[in-house]
A and B are shown apart, each in its own frame.
Chain A
């Protein structure tokens, strides 16, 4: 580390003891933060201070801290993951803030994502959607030869772009309707594009969009907030694909 200039920040953090607690904002001071700290490391520093003072540390979700697992989930100053393009909050660095800043930190807010504690929400609604059809049924047996099924490069790329979703739920968190249509669209499009997924495409799109509704997510109004908030830059073209797949399913 170069020089050790540090920042002092004011954090206004959502604290909630459990799903039934009404919750409230608490104000904390983050001291000794350098520009090299990630946002989560900054919270680690604050938590250490809280623990030393005998107070309850701020609970937040995290795992890989390298932007690939999709666990971290905080709305920072009104934008999921803090609003730096294609960046999860674990990869957001404190160099994007300056000394004296006030930062609001809230959990994902959606009926389908109940708060478990502080900044942690229960995202099993997304699992329901995947369980409804986000897979391909296949026969067991020997491993198929890697090149037995030829897939054109453009299709493979398209499917990979859709498969970039890490399931963090920022699309839901940013959506004015708390819809999970980007999440669902990415999976529907990825599988419908590939030969392995085509067979079940019609059943899948209906089952997954029904599960979306039943899990308490809203409907898509084409606001496109999701695309802007997605840390993986998943395009809303996959929602358009889902809409096309749904129409094909209607004709079946």
Chain B
């Protein structure tokens, strides 16, 4: 059977594309944190990124490819898995599965919806109310756009909720990657699982720090 049909091959493709997206998620969090340096920090960062259009587009197309491959197989295996279990137990006790491992498809779908919303919001600027202007030295003013969006209302709630979905997805996903690639053994498996959860939690804190700090009025 082809890798794209195989029970193991598809997991491998999902694990690799998932992990590549995790690398992005780490870099994106560090980049976003330049907001704590003030308008100068994040506006300069954003300008540097966009000064290289071919690279920006190459990067965008790769990310699109990763998420499409990942989501395609994610949906496919999830549909097969529930079809393989047509009748549930009346009483069932899970011994090892977690909320995070059992909700991968749902947290995945939430992430996909969020990515669409997020792009429409801060990249395409198509969400009503988004503030697009330039700063004193003529750079696109990312700082004001973000601070304005997160000061009140539903927007910060959407972002925080989405980051919780990412946290749940990666709590299982990152550790799972090591098992799917076979980069572990009986001894390292529990350590990898715990590190994966801790890592995802640090990401969560890093991401939600921005809306929280803005809501609290510390960044304005």
Contacts and interface: CB of A to CB of B under 8 A. Distances in A.
B186 A237 contact: yes
A240 B187 CA distance: 12
A176 B8 contact: no
A229 B92 CA distance: 12
A223 B176 CA distance: 9
Contacts of B86: 111
Nearest to A22: B87
B186 A235 contact: yes
Contact of B176 (A111, A210, A221): A221
A212 B88 CA distance: 20
B8 to A, nearest CB: 4
B172 A222 contact: yes
Nearest to A238: B186
B180 A222 contact: yes
A110 B80 CA distance: 12
Contacts of A246: 6, 8-9, 12
A203 to B, nearest CB: 12
Contact of B85 (A106, A176, A250): A176
Interface stretch (A52-60, A63-71, A73-81): A73-81
B48 interface: no
Contacts of B90: 25, 104, 106
Contact count band on A: 35 or more
A240 B71 CA distance: 23
B179 interface: yes
A239 B89 CA distance: 25
Interface string B151-183: 000000000000000000000100110011111
A240 B15 CA distance: 13
A177 B84 contact: yes
A247 B1 CA distance: 14
Nearest to A224: B96
A104 B11 contact: no
A22 to B, nearest CB: 10
A189 to B, nearest CB: 10
B189 interface: yes
Nearest to A14: B90
Contact of B6 (A77, A176, A179, A209): A209
29 contacts: A77-B91, A78-B92, A79-B93, A109-B85, A110-B84, A111-B85, A112-B84, A176-B97, A177-B81, A177-B82, A177-B84, A178-B81, A178-B85, A179-B7, A179-B84, A210-B6, A217-B84, A218-B80, A218-B83, A218-B85, A221-B101, A223-B98, A240-B189, A243-B8, A243-B11, A243-B12, A243-B179, A243-B180, A247-B181
Given A79-B93, A244-B182, 19 more contacts: A77-B91, A83-B95, A109-B85, A178-B85, A179-B7, A209-B1, A210-B7, A213-B1, A219-B7, A222-B179, A222-B180, A223-B94, A223-B97, A225-B95, A236-B189, A237-B184, A237-B189, A240-B185, A250-B3
